[in-house]
Amino acid sequence: MRERQEIQEVSRERRITAAVRRLFLPVLSGIFFSLAFPSVDAGYLAWIALVPLLVSIANSSPRESFVLGYLSGFLGFAIILSWMRLFGIVPWLLLAAYLGLYIGAFAGLYRWLAGGRPIVRSVWLVPLVWTALEYVRSIGVFGFPWALLGVSQHAAIPVLQVARISGVYGISFLIALVNAALAAVVLTRRPAALIAPGLLVAAVAAWGLGAMPAPAQGSLRVATLQPNVPPPLKFDPHAASNNLALLRNLVGQAASAPTDLIIMPETALPSDIFGGRGLLPMLGAWARSARSTLIATSLEHGRSNIAVAVAPSGAAVDRYDKVRLVAFAESGIQPGLGHSPMSTPLGPLGVAICFESIFPEVSRDLVRDGAEVVVVITNDAWSDGTAGPLQHARFAPLRAVETGRWVIQASNSGLSEIVDPSGRIAASLPVGEPGVLRGRVTLLRTSTPYARWGDWFAQLMVVGAIAATLLRRDDLAAEVRRKEFRAAVVACLLPLLAAGSLLAIRSPWWSWVATLLGFVGIFALGRIGSPAGGAQMAWRGLVAATVLGAALVAALWTVVVIAFRANEIPMDITVPEWGWGLALRQLLIAAAIELWLRGQAFPALVSWKGVPVAIGATTLIGMVVQVGLPAEAIAWAMVTGLGFGLIRSRTRSALGLIVPHALGNVLIAFLTVVR
């Protein structure tokens, strides 16, 4: 008996040791991935960051691979985005948890497409899937292309040049390919798998050396202002006169030598530019005195994040309103109508405000519409002392190479810099150092292949990933033949298509709500996810789901309020006049969605693939329903959808989630109604 216990104990210790070893490699990948970006900024680590993860999943099932990939991605993004803790622990972890899903999806999808074959036989699948998912992560209202693999090579100028053709995604492809080849070498102990990828990267680097233009001094004299005003003082009425005096002095410093263009950072002015008490007359006097075109910025009327071009004559000649807004942080800001260059006496200037500069399509749209230089204005002072400003600044070299334009970044507290079309930093002003950054740029009209054709390469990778999925037709056919799969498709998609069609034509709300409720009645056959075991168990589940759901909504709303207050983001919300009719409307909408997703679709998905898939799929569908609404509403649908799914799996009640869902709709409407 004692010997048997000892054997069992040894066996258990071995299993624990094996599990720890298996988890070590994905963790190592996450650490390497994070170190490739600032603050460490060891870009060379990106070329080996995926190797431990790929080795760890070499013989794993797709589901196990997803879990290991998710662990690696969550850890990596949590380290990279550690500066997000300034908004609160919960928002930071939620964002890392969301982005980690893409790394998990990469690992799981890659292993499924590889079909259990060794990595040496599927090396090219790795960059295909990775690049496709990076592109998907970067687009749409929920897009967040932070820490793309290609951005880690901002200082590798020869390799960077491939972005002129493919955008940043081509660089990510090369890095993922090398990682896959190195993993194959580790697994097979044969270097042959590295030959073709190595030759490709060498050829790209050699081409890049010849393709990048020689350093040249431009003809347009520019100056960016870095006032380094602390965020609490930026809009403090008591500090307004001091802030204006600081800006006036910096404009004077910039004008002490001949200067054609002076650029302020984001929302530099403490008051409005336009209107009866606006600062335009004063700005006009500054521009006339400096004999320069002045790019002035403000949070106009507290509602619009704008840049205004003031000519040397003193007249305001054009205006740009920020289009791409930061979810929650800019919930009260009215977005602009489109990314268009500003007309100035110097020529058309493309302006990207803060968050917009991380999206390749923004600068590309500006250049396609005629911008001859790209100006990035930002205020990263709220994240001073962290890696946030440095990570943000690393996008500028990519935007320069992609568009073939000089990029000028003006930041309130740094990093301000001037980048030439090859991605080289021509001049910079460090973080936290007030002053004026001077330099020369050239207004250019030539176009790069990327500026003309856009994200053709990344889109080709998406098509390739879809084609690779369709080639697994035997596995797909086997799934289609399962009655559980067909039931899940009917339960999820048929109501979505019917109600979605009505939403697309902007039909009255009651029509698509009635459609959803009708499908629930037809297909659910009266079963709405209540617990088995009689009326007593059903009531217990309903009460538990209601209490837990309401607690979740209250907790999430508390997190939002605390994050806003901690970062002094004004919660200038408009409270609708809620009457009985409007309350009943919200209850009906919540009932339709919950009885469909958690009542009808959830059990069908559980029967097909289990609880995790049911939670993920119903959450995703709930987000799709919100398409067309602000990003805040989609983010809210994601977080509450995950929470409601967990509650549904424990209580087995969909009815109890109706009231919490309606409560959540009311609360999030407070933030989004101003849009």
- Write the pLDDT tens digit of every residue in 54-87: 999 998 999 999 999 999 999 999 999 999 888 7
How much is the pLDDT for 394? 96
Cα angle, residue 76 at apex, residues 562 and 461 outer, rounded to 5°? 110
CB-CB contact of 630 with 672 (8 Å): yes
Tokens 């290609």 belong to which residue?
150
Query: Using one digit for the tens of pLDDT, what is the confidence trace for 558-597?
Result: 888 777 776 666 655 555 555 566 778 888 889 889 999 9
Q: What is the pLDDT of residue 517?
A: 81
pLDDT score recorded for residue 5: 58
Q: What is the distance between the alpha carbons of residues 350 and 338, in angstroms, rounded to a whole number?
A: 12
- Give the other-Cβ count within 10 Å of 230's Cβ: 13
Q: Confirm if 673 and 551 have CB atoms less than 8 A apart.
A: no
Q: What is the DSSP letter of 310?
A: E
Tokens encoding 537: 């168990």
Query: How confident is the model over 152-202, as pLDDT tens digits?
Result: 999 999 999 999 999 999 999 999 999 999 999 999 888 888 999 999 999
First-residue to last-residue Cα distance in the chain: 71
**Main-chain dihedrals φ then ψ at residue 657, nearest 5 degrees:** -90, -5
Distances (CA, A) of 71 to 65, 99, 105, 546: 10, 11, 11, 31
- Helix (H) / strand (E) containing 503: helix 483-504
- Would you state the structure tokens that stand for residue 227, as one six-digit string? 């006032």
Q: CA 138, 330, 394: angle at the middle one, nearest 5?
A: 45
Contact 297, 265 (CB under 8 A): yes
CA–CA dist 446, 444 (Å, integer):
6
Q: What is the mean pLDDT of the chain?
A: 88
Q: In whole angstroms, what is the distance from residue 413 CA to residue 668 CA? A: 33
215: which DSSP letter? Answer: P
pLDDT at position 674 is 43
Do 492 and 605 touch, CB atoms closer than 8 A?
Answer: yes
Could you tell me how far CA 237 lies from the centroid of its own chain?
34
What is the C-alpha to C-alpha distance for residues 425 and 437, in angstroms, rounded to an integer?
12
Closest Cα partner for 314 from 279, 341, 347? 279
For the chain, which ranges sit under pLDDT 50? 525-526, 528-530, 673-675
Structure tokens at 169: 């995604």
- Among 355, 352, 359, residue whose Cα is nearest residue 388: 355
* pTM beyond 0.85: yes
- Taking the C-alpha atoms of residue 622 and residue 616, their distance in angstroms, rounded to an integer, is 10
Helix (H) or strand (E) holding 520: helix 509-523
Look at residues 377, 372, 416, 396 and name the one whose alpha carbon lies nearest to residue 295.
377
